[in-house]
Chains A and B, each alone.
Chain A
Amino acid sequence: MKHLCTTALVASFAMAAPFAPTAADAEEINVVMFGMPYTNGLRKLADDFEAETGIKANIDVIGQDVFENRITLSFTGGTGDIDVVHAPVIQVQRWVAANWLKPITAEVAAMAVKDDILKGPLDAYKINGEQYAVPFMAATGLMTYRQDVLEAAGVGVPETWAEMLEIAPQVTNDDRAAIALRAVPGQGFNMFIFPMIMRAYGGKFFADYTGGDLTPAINSPETLEALKVYIELINDYAPQGAGNFNFAEVNAAAQNGQVVFTVEGTGVVTQIVDPEKSKFADVTGIALPPGGPAGRSPAIAVHGLAIPSSAENPEASARFIEWAVSPETMTKIALAEPFSNFTTGSVAQNAEVIAKYDAVHPDFLRMQGEALNLAIGHYRPLLPDWPSLGAAIGENINAAVNGLMSPEDALAAAEQEMKDILGQ
C-alpha cells in the first residue's frame, strides 16, 4: 500500500519537475538552499570548492516560500536530484521520520572541523543517537531600541515585557510607533517571536516536553497573559497594519525610524544596526529580548546542511559540507556578507571578523553570545509534527491579534488542533 501511495504521489506531484537537473557524474553535485546571508555567500564561493576538490557544486538558492515544496517533491519522488540540502533544525525531525535524510554520523566524525563546531547547534541535529546534519548558523533573538528616543523620554531599556508596556506609550507619537513585531501567521513568522513572550510568562507548548509528556498545554493562564501582552503591543503600540507584518516590514519600519523597538532574529538585527542600510543605525542600541516572571527566553533558529537519502554521491556531498562549514569558508562569508551567526567557533576569534562586527555595532557579538547562552534548544519543539503544530498555533494567534477571535478562544482552538494533529 505504501508503495502504491508513494507511486501515486510521485505520479501526481513529481510530474511538476520532471526535468530537474541531476548530477551529471561523480564530479558534480546539486545543492539546494534558501536565501539568507550565509547561503548567498556560499553560492558566490562555489568556484573555490571546485578549485579545491575538482567537484563542481551547482548551488541553487531559492526563496524560503518555495523551498519546502521543492524539496518535498524531490524527496517524495526519490529523484536523487539533490545532493546537499539546507536543513532548518525545526524541519529535521520531520524529515528523519519520513526517512528523507541520510545519517551522517561517520562522515561527521571523520571531519577535521567537527571539534570546531559549537556543540549545542551540532547536538540539535542528533536524533536517536545519529547525526543528520551539520550546523552552519545559529540565529537568536535580540531587541533593538532607539537610544535617542529613550533618552529624550527619560526612560531606560525595558528588561521585561511588562516594562515594555509601560514605556511604549511614553515613546509613541504621531509619526512613530513604539514597537514592530512579526505577526503574520507561520511557524517561522509569528511563531518565531511569540514564544519569546510566552516562555517569559511561563507558558509552554506541552505539559512536560523534556520529560516526554506531549500533552498540549498551550491553553494556560500564563500563555493567555503572554498573548494579551502581544496583542496589546501590536494593536496599541505598533504601526498601522502591524497585524500582517513579517520580518521585512519590521526591518523596514526600524530602518526608516517608524518604530523605537523591535525584537527580531539576529539576521534582521544586523541590518537594522548597519549604517549603510539604516538611517538610524548610529542611534540604535542592542539588548537581550525582554523577559518576564519566568525569565528570559531568546528565540533560537539553527540551520545546517544535510544529505538526502536519495543523494547519489554521498561522499562528494560530505566533502561539500566539510568545506562549507570550514573556518576558511565561514570566515570569507562572515567578512563578505552580514553573517555573524556562524557556528564554527574559531571564526569568532578572527581579528577581521571581530573588527567588522564591532564597526557595525560594538555590542552585537557580545549580545548575540549572551542570547545564545540563554536560549533553549527546544525553543520551538523538535518534533516531526512541529511544522503543522506551529502553523496551527500561529494561525490562531494571528486571528486573535487581528480581532477575529478572542485570546481565550484562540488558545483553546490552538490546543484542540494540537491534539488533533498529534492524534490525541
Chain B
Amino acid sequence: MTILQAPDRRDHPAGRSLARKRSMTQATSKRRGATYELERGYRRMIIPAILAVAIFAIVPLAGMLALSFSDYHLIRGSKGEFGFHNFARLLSDQRLVNSIYVMSVLSIFGVAAQVVIGTAVAVGLQKIVGKWRLGRVLFLVPYAVPHVAVALIWLSLFTPTLSPINAFFDLFGFTVPTFLTTQNGAMFAIIVADTWTNFPFAMLIILAALQGISTDLDEAAAIDGASRVKTFIFITLPLLMPALLMVTLFRFIDSLKHFPMIFVITKGGPGRSTQATNFYAYVQTFQNSNVAYGAAIAVLLFLMAALISFYVARLNQRVSQ
C-alpha cells in the first residue's frame, strides 16, 4: 500500500522561493529586532547625559527664568508680584546699556586679537620641524593657567608701582601710561590679559587646520612664481576660512563670560566703566541683593548667547555641506 505523502512544498520551486522569502523575512525581522535592541541600548546609554543636562542646565535655567519674572529680593523677600516688570526696567537701565557696550568692546577686540595672534603663531609653528616642534607646548601654557591667576599676573603688570615693564622704561626716563585709571586703558588691560590666556585655543584650531592643507598647493604656487605672502593670502587663508570662522564664533560666545579678569583687575572700575553685562548681573544679584533683576539680566545674556550659538550651528551646517 502506498501511503500518499503530502509533497514537501520546499521541493517545489515556488515553495522553495516562499521558504526562502520566509527565512529572509525572519532574518530581517531578527535583524530589525537586533537593531531595535541596539538602538534601545544606545538610547539607554544617553539617559545619564540627558539627566545631567536636565539637572545641571535645564532646571537652573527654569529657576532663573522663574526668578526673572518675580520681585524676589534677598533681604526684603517677595511681595508676590509676578510679571514683566524686570524686563521693562531693562529697557530703561543705562547701566545695562553701558554693560552691553563694555561687553561688546571686550568681545570684539579681544576675539579679533586672539584670532590674529593665534593664526600668526600657528603659521609660525607649522614651519618648525624636528625636535623644536616640542616647543609648541610652551604656547599652550597660558591656556592652562587659571583665569584668576592670569588676572593677578596682569594686574601686577599694569600697576605702575609693581610692574617690571614700568621699572624697565623708568631706567631710560620713559613713563609708561597708566592703564587702569581710564576706561579705554582698563578695557585694553582686560583685553590683553584675556588675549594672553585664550590665543592658544585659536592657535590650536588653526594649526590643526593648517596641517590638513596639502603642501602640494604651496609648491604649485611657488612653481607659478607666487610669493609666500601671496600664497598665504590667496591660497592658505581661503582654505583656513572655515576654521577661522568657527574659532572666531566659539571664542565670541566664550568671551561673553568675562568675569575673573574684570573682578580681579578692575573690579568694574574706574567708576563702573568696565562692568560687562555678566559682571553687572553679579552686582545686582550679590551686591545689591536684587536677585530677580539679576536673573532678568542673566536671561537677556542667555538669549544673546543662544542667538549666537544658533547662528554658529547654522553656519557649521552650511560649511559642512
Contacts and interface: CB of A to CB of B under 8 A. Distances in A.
A241 interface: yes
A4 B70 contact: yes
A391 interface: yes
B166 to A, nearest CB: 8
Contacts of A76: 74
B67 A395 contact: no
Contacts, number: 149
Interface string A145-188: 00000000000000000000000000000000000000011100
Nearest to B263: A65
Given A12-B295, A244-B159, A189 B267 contact: yes
Nearest to A259: B161
Nearest to A190: B269
Interface stretch (A249-257, A283-291, A341-349): A249-257
A189 B266 CA distance: 12
B280 to A, nearest CB: 12
Contacts of B70: 1, 4-5, 8
Contact of A184 (B79, B162, B267): B267
Interface string B266-297: 11111111000000000100111101100100
Contact of A9 (B63, B182, B266, B288): B63
Contacts of B79: 1
Nearest to B166: A240
Interface in B147-183: 158-162, 166, 175, 178-183
B266 A244 contact: yes
B270 to A, nearest CB: 4
B138 interface: no
A395 B269 contact: yes
Given A12-B295, A240-B175, A244-B180, A249 B162 contact: yes
Interface in B71-116: 72, 74-80, 82
Interface residues of A, number: 53
B72 A252 contact: no
B42 interface: no
A404 B270 contact: yes
B288 A391 contact: yes
Interface in A10-39: 10-13, 15
A10 B268 contact: no
Contact of A395 (B56, B166, B268): B268
Interface in A361-390: 384-385, 387-388
B15 interface: no
Contacts of B291: 5, 9
A88 to B, nearest CB: 14
B55 interface: yes
Contacts of B288: 387-388, 391, 421
Given A9-B291, A12-B63, A240-B178, A68 B286 contact: yes
Contacts of A9: 63, 67, 72, 291
B178 A5 contact: no
Interface string A250-278: 00110010100000000000000000000
B238 interface: no
Contacts of B263: 65
What is the interface of chain A mostly: helix, strand, loop, or mixed? Answer: helix
B33 interface: no
B267 A186 contact: yes
A402 interface: yes
B62 interface: yes
Contacts of A244: 159, 180-181, 186, 266, 269-270
A261 to B, nearest CB: 15
Nearest to A423: B76
B59 A185 contact: no
A292 interface: no
A243 interface: yes
Given A11-B63, A185-B268, A241 B74 contact: no
A98 interface: yes
Given A253-B161, A399-B270, A399-B272, 16 more contacts: A5-B78, A7-B63, A8-B67, A9-B67, A11-B59, A12-B63, A12-B295, A240-B175, A241-B159, A241-B181, A243-B180, A244-B159, A385-B75, A395-B269, A405-B271, A421-B288
Closest 7 pairs between A and B when the two form their complex, measured CB to CB: A399-B271, A11-B63, A12-B63, A5-B72, A243-B181, A402-B270, A244-B180
16 contacts: A2-B72, A4-B70, A5-B78, A5-B292, A10-B63, A11-B59, A12-B64, A15-B56, A68-B286, A185-B268, A185-B270, A241-B179, A244-B180, A244-B270, A252-B161, A398-B269
Interface of A: 1-2, 4-13, 15, 65, 68-69, 72, 76, 94, 97-98, 184-186, 189, 239-246, 249, 252-253, 256, 258, 384-385, 387-388, 391, 395-396, 398-399, 401-405, 421
